[in-house]
Amino acid sequence: MKAVKYIAFALLAALIVSHIAFEPKKCEKTQFCLDTVVTLTAYGKGADKAIDKAFNRINEIEQKFSAYLKNSEIYKINHSPYNTFVKVDKEVFDLIERAIMFSDITDGAFDITLKPISDLWGIGTKNEKVPTDEEIKSALDKTGWRDVVLDKNTYAVKLKKEGMALDLGGIAKGYASDEAARVLGECGIKNACLDLGGNIVVRGEMPLGLFESIKCGKRSRPFTIGIQEPDAPRGESGQPVTVENGCVVTSGDYERFFEKDGERYHHIFDPKTGMPAKSGVRSATVIAKDGAVADALSTAFFVIGNDASGKYKEYYETVIFAK
């Protein structure tokens, strides 16, 4: 009888040890950067140091691309004399060039020159207001992606109008997610989920623990990403989507807004009117292989509305609208 007990105890101990050895090594860290909460989760040996390197890369990108940090390349462009070429870092030049390409293919629905408009409305700041028609017209006169001139030979950028200013917030976060994922991959991380304030990137699959693995009959499963429902409590998702080695980005009217006289004013502007976009949708979610692409197109598709469905398919995999 004692022998049976010893054998049972030994089997239990072996099971516990094997469970500990089998359990995937998971590391998760959170920082505030890019004006949002960023959480990086990675699995496997070396995940801790890999995440630190990924955060270093994200912070490096913020230092280059922020429109508000005085040492950034974008700040330098915005505060240089207009109609004058300003030399910038090649990485910054390349992303501005990509942004202009998306402005071109979406007929300006995505536009990185809307900073005068967003500054005027001040949504999300203590100075938010509903501007007058005259103020909006004056700010619109300072925008226009076609008035951004690029010199590829010298990596220089020129803004043709006085008062023009760039804000790459609609694409830089997606680019940062791509770069963070690249850094993790170079560190040998094959399975990871990166959440940059709603810009989601997944690589590989989510490893399963021993008991879940036995139950499912496999060692891992694809990451499942929930899409935020407009006006639902934060974190309450609608139909989840399964993603493998891809990016999920949502642009919606429910994150940054204010209300006045019964009207909701959100932070995603129609470049043609200078007003918060009214396209008949509450959010646009784009799933793509590239985070910068998903970031830019989610903004453009929110502005365009359901008419964007089926267009530009060479750039993305899926678009989901919420009304």
Q: Digits of tens for pLDDT over the chain (323 positions)? A: 555 455 544 444 444 444 444 456 899 999 999 999 999 999 999 999 999 999 999 999 999 999 999 999 999 999 999 999 999 999 999 999 999 999 999 999 999 999 999 999 999 999 999 999 999 999 999 999 999 999 999 999 999 999 999 999 999 999 999 999 999 999 999 999 999 998 999 999 988 765 565 656 666 778 999 888 887 776 666 678 999 899 999 999 998 999 999 999 999 999 999 999 999 999 999 999 999 999 999 999 999 999 887 788 899 999 999 98
Q: What is the DSSP letter of 144?
A: -
> What pTM does this model have?
0.90
**Pick from 300, 277, 255: nearest CA to 111:** 300
In terms of residues, how long is the chain? 323
Quick one: tokens of 199? 């810009």
> Max Cα separation, the chain?
92
**Pick from 193, 197, 199, 169: nearest CA to 181:** 193
Each domain of the chain, given as residue ranges in start order, spans 24-322
Determine the CATH number of domain 24-322.
3.10.520.10
Distance CA 39, CA 198 (A): 10
**Pick from 34, 35, 28: nearest CA to 51:** 28
